[in-house]
């Protein structure tokens, strides 16, 4: 079958599991992926910073399977990139976005001629929103933990992360409920 299906299945899974920006996994070299301890080193990100991205054990396992398959399929790659094309070169952002749109059409997430539909960035957005919703539902102090999410996502300013609090009606409702619960009852 070739390396391409495994590359894209693993890459899109990594986007969903980590909320990384579109170009971040594409810039990972083999030395940036510690699959023993389950940590990715993302270098020189959007804001010129570097950060560590810890991996869930299931994501770590999927990356190990991909790496073994990649090394069998492409024993002499032309690139040190973790994710490879079938030619052994680094994937381009254009190719990844094109493949995402094509697959979105094939699985029915967008019509065959639709120019709008799910975007890779939506996987990042979804991770942030579901994390915040889970925190609210579990009674976790979101204000206290928001800097952790900001660091994990690689935001330069916490205000970039606050944006997610207004991103969905459900999050707004959860934030409102929390604010109402923290207000002292007014007495006539």
Active site residue 164: yes
- Judge whether 17 and 56 are in contact, CB under 8 Å: yes
Active site residue 46: yes
**Helices then strands (H, E): number in the chain?**
8, 3
Whether the CA torsion 27, 4, 11, 122 is positive or negative: it is positive
Active site residue 124: yes
Active site residue 136: no
Choice among 61, 87, 102, 121 that is catalytic = 121
Choice among 15, 124, 136, 152 that is catalytic = 124
Count the residues in the chain. Answer: 188
Choice among 21, 27, 70, 90 that is catalytic = 21
Active site residue 116: no
User: What is d(CA 56, CA 17) in angstroms, rounded to the nearest whole number?
Assistant: 8
Choice among 46, 49, 102, 145 that is catalytic = 46
Active site residue 187: no
Which residue bears the tokens 């935001």? 155
Which residue bears the tokens 């391409």? 4
User: What is d(CA 130, CA 50) in angstroms, rounded to the nearest whole number?
Assistant: 24
Choice among 27, 70, 90, 155 that is catalytic = 155
Residue 186 CA, distance from chain mean position: 43
- What φ, ψ does residue 96 adopt, rounded to 5°? -70, -45
- Any idea which residues carry the catalytic annotation? 21, 46, 121, 124, 155, 164
């Amino acid at each position: 079958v070739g390396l391409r299906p495994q590359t894209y299945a693993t890459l899109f899974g990594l986007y969903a599991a980590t909320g990384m920006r579109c170009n971040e996994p594409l810039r990972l070299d083999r030395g940036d992926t510690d699959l023993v301890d389950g940590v990715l080193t993302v270098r020189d990100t959007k804001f010129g910073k570097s950060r560590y991205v810890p991996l869930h054990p299931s994501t770590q396992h999927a990356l190990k399977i991909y790496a073994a398959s990649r090394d069998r399929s492409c024993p002499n790659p032309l690139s040190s990139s973790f994710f490879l094309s079938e030619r052994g070169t680094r994937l381009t952002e254009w190719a990844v976005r094109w493949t995402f749109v094509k697959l979105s059409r094939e699985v029915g997430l967008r019509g065959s001629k639709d120019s709008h539909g799910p975007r890779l960035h939506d996987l990042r957005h979804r991770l942030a929103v579901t994390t915040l919703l889970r925190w609210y539902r579990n009674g976790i102090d979101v204000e206290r933990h928001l800097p952790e999410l900001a660091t994990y996502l690689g935001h330069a300013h916490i205000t970039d992360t606050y944006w997610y609090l207004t991103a969905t009606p459900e999050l707004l409702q959860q934030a409102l409920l929390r604010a109402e619960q923290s207000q002292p009852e007014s007495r006539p």
